[in-house]
Amino acid sequence: MSASTVFDSFLFRDAFGTPQMRAVFSDESCVRTIVRVEVALARAQAEVGIVPREVADTIAASCDAARLDRARLSRDTALVGYPVLPIVAQLAEQCGQAGNHLHWGATTQDVMDTATILQCAEGLSLIADALDRLREHLRRLATEHVDTVAAGRTHLQHALPITFGYRVAVWLSALDRHAERLATVRQRDLVVQFGGAAGTLASLGPGPEGLRARAALAAELGLRDPEITWHVARDGLVEIVGLLASIGASIGKIGTDVAISCSTEFGELAEPFVPGRGASSTMPQKRNPISSELVVAAAKLLRDKSSAMLDAAVQDFERATGPWHVEWAVIPEAFLLLSSSLAQAADMIAGLRVDPARMRANLDLSGGLIVAEAVMMALAPALGRQRAHDLVYEICSRATDTGHGLAAELRADPHVVALLDDDQIEQLCDPAGYLGSARAMTRSVTDGPAPHGQAR
């Protein structure tokens, strides 16, 4: 079968996903996970006495995803509209008489939702590991450049001096918070689904057996047992995809900063050099920032995945009439997009080429105007903040018009020289002397908690 999307295209799939994440959300994984849920359900029900133990043992021994007829599954799924009934039909045939107890008291959505949650659990584990790798690359980079002075930019113009390590630490701080959110989401939202036709477990009787079976199923699969059926309460999956999109946006911000810094006019950064990567078909000199571009694209696509999940969460009564189906497309694609974004970003940051000399040269492009605030704050105790602001504003305008630079215009202004000597002006015009708490804040991030299970 020919591929028709970037997610399964042999040309584009590694730009919009990773092999590991594709395996988690592949057709084969989906089928295997559904079979796993059906077997776990039989075991859980045997544990609480709903089905005979020997029946559950037969089901566990007989159900084999590898022996399912794929062509038949494809035809029957297209007919039924869901894969669970076609899978259960074939599994029942594999189990003989024991198959009469297969899928006992369950509804299609119970099995599909639980299978989706299991895939999400595996996907989130991959995301957590990839996020930790990226965070460590950023931590190393921020530590290495904690004192590398660079131009801070607001509205794409020079603002105040910062350090490159500070900029990287800001990137890292967002990902550190995302790691905390990820741990919370994995604890809160990986929840089993088992409620029967309308969510009430009525098919298992009025007693406690239904709730006991659900708890046993959750334990069997390593998932959380919910307080109530969540067939039409989709906030958990919305939160998972929303977090994926949020992480993707933070990585997209990194990609944006890196891509701009790689531009010829900036020249402060370069993505790792690999022969042929980022090459142009017509311009031999080009080395385009491909990884940055891909993470920005992923961020934009992930936003729409989160939006679609929010839309799909608006469902009717006890079973949705279509929004549920949106998740089947959105969830795998969201995981694929973020997996690619994390992989691209990790490769980019691990080998990022930093040019401190160019950063320092760029600091001087404005002739020292980047430290105008430092001069203003030095004059403010004597003149008042507003008068100092107005005076330095006038001096900056003259420096721009004459091209003489800030220091020269300060030395030529009688109001300034009445308050500041040459050495003070020299010190105030050194960008490295006006970094505030940048170093301390960078260290507070780089010296923060290590990824789970790692020593710092």
Per-residue pLDDT tens over the stretch 142-186:
999 999 999 999 999 999 999 999 999 999 999 999 999 999 999
d(CA 170, CA 441) in angstroms, rounded, equals: 9
Cα angle 19, 21, 27 (rounded to 5 degrees) comes to: 90
Q: What share of the chain is helix, strand, coil (3-state, %, to 5)?
A: 65, 5, 30
Q: What's the mean pLDDT in 442-452? A: 80
Contact 166, 203 (CB under 8 A): no
Would you call 280 a catalytic residue per the annotation?
yes
Q: Quick check: 100 and 42 in contact, CB under 8 A?
A: no
- HSE, CB side, 13 Å, CA atoms: give it for residue 418: 5
User: Do you know the residue count of the chain?
Assistant: 456
Provide the residue type at 62 as one letter: S
Quote the pLDDT of residue 275: 63
**Residue 8 pLDDT exceeds 90:** no
pLDDT confidence bin for 448, thresholds 50/70/90: confident
Please state at what angle helix 164-189 crosses helix 235-261, rounded to 10 degrees: 170
Stretch 239-267: mean pLDDT, rounded?
Answer: 96
Residue 260 sits at the vertex; the CA angle it makes with 258 and 261, to the nearest 5 degrees, is: 60
CA distances from 85 to 26, 28, 118, 291 (A): 19, 16, 19, 42
* Catalytic one of 2, 4, 155, 281: 155
Cα gap 229→301, rounded to integer Å: 31
For residue 222, the 8-state DSSP code is T
Q: How far apart are CA 170 and CA 165, in angstroms?
A: 9
Task: At 225, list the tokens.
Answer: 């047992």
Mean pLDDT of the chain: 92
**Closest to 82 measured CA to CA, from 59, 116, 130, 133:** 116
Please say if 155 is a catalytic residue: yes
Contacts for 260 with CB less than 8 Å, ≥ 6 apart: 266
For 76-232, strand residue ranges (E) read: 149-154, 157-163
Confidence of residue 273 (pLDDT cuts 50, 70, 90): confident
Residue from 318, 220, 308, 298 nearest 253 by CA: 298
- What domains does the chain contain, in order, with CATH numbers? 1-106+195-223 (1.10.275.10), 109-191+230-366 (1.20.200.10), 369-428 (1.10.40.30)
Which residue among 74, 125, 263, 280 is the active-site one? 280
Q: What is the mean pLDDT of residues 55-60?
A: 96
User: Cβ atoms within 10 A of the Cβ of 4, count?
Assistant: 8
- The tens digit of pLDDT for each residue in 315-359 reads 999 888 888 899 999 999 999 999 999 999 999 999 999 999 999
Inform me whether the pLDDT recorded for 280 exceeds 50: no
pLDDT band at 453 (very low <50, low <70, confident <90, very high): very low
User: For residue 258, is pLDDT > 60?
Assistant: yes
CA distance 423 to 421: 6
Contact 130, 342 (CB under 8 A): yes
Q: Rounded distance, CA 240 to CA 238, Å?
A: 6
Give the lowest-confidence range in 125-129, 280-284, 339-343, 435-439. Answer: 280-284
Backbone angles phi, psi at 405, to 5 degrees: 95, 160
Distance CA 343, CA 99 (A): 44
Q: What is the pLDDT of residues 93-126, one digit of tens each?
A: 999 999 999 999 999 999 999 999 999 999 999 9
